[in-house]
Structures are given as structure tokens and as C-alpha cells.
Amino acid sequence: AYGTMALNSSKSTIPADLNAAQTVTNNGNVSEQFNIRGQNSANWTLGLTAGSDTYVHQFCAAACTSPPTNFTGLTTNYQTLAASIAASGTQTLHLRLTTPTTSSVFTQQSVDVTLQAVAI
């Protein structure tokens, strides 16, 4: 939960900001590839740069520092988060949200992230 954010602002889960790393666990008994994707909200479009009613959501799985570095922009298609996670293994990640530069709506938006595990 990023909380309430102003237009054209960013928050991340790195220790210097929200300090809320996310951990994904392979609870299966075979190696898995972890994939990740974002979504459009009811009123905002997910993009690689912030704009009018366009927000940015990014992820980072290694060397995520402040200011946020090594972050990759999420799209509405699955992208590889981790290519091979052994059974009982984990992958830590950080997320970063940047709100639109301008918006025609000022209601709460759901900007969920979906994770997928694929046996390899």
C-alpha cells in the first residue's frame, strides 16, 4: 500500500522510502520461473513514462537503491522477474509507483501487480 500520493510523485518499497520489500516463494517441488505484470486502473493507463492519466509502475529484483536504480517498467504483459527459482527458494523484489503528471480523476485507483509461477 503506497498510501495517498500527490500528482507527479513517486514512492518505492526500498528501505530509504517505504521499507517494504516483497518476497515471492516457490512453494512447489520443481524449479519455477516467476513472471510479473502490471495493469491499467479504472481511470489511469499503465505506461513507461508518466503523463496525463498515465502512471508508471516499476519493479526491481537486484541492487535496488536510493534514488531508485535498476527498476524496470511494468507492462500489462508478463515479464520475467526471476528465470529459475528452486523448490522452496525465494525472490525478493521492490516496487516503485509514479503517479500521473495530471489527472482527470481524483479517486482511489487500484494499481495491482500480478505474479505468475511457471514450472520449468
For 78-106, the pLDDT digits (tens) are 999 999 999 999 999 999 999 999 999 99
- Kindly tell me if the per-residue pLDDT of 1 is higher than 90: no
Among 83, 38, 34, 33, which residue's Cα sits nearest to residue 58? 38
Does the global pTM surpass 0.95? no
Q: Grid coordinates in use for 20?
A: 517494504
Q: In the predicted model, what is the mean pLDDT of the chain?
A: 95
The pLDDT value given to residue 37: 98
pLDDT in tens, 2-50: 989 999 999 999 998 999 999 999 999 999 999 999 999 999 999 999 9
- Kindly tell me if the per-residue pLDDT of 67 is higher than 80: no
The 10 Å CB-count burial string (b at 16+, else e) for 80-108 is ebbeebeeeeebebbbbbbbbeebeeeee
Radius of gyration of the chain (CA): 15
Q: Grid coordinates in use for 2?
A: 503506497
Strand partners, 73: 58
- Kindly tell me if the per-residue pLDDT of 62 is higher than 90: no
Q: Grid coordinates in use for 54?
A: 498515465
Preceding peptide of 67 cis, ω within 30°: yes
pLDDT band at 69 (very low <50, low <70, confident <90, very high): confident
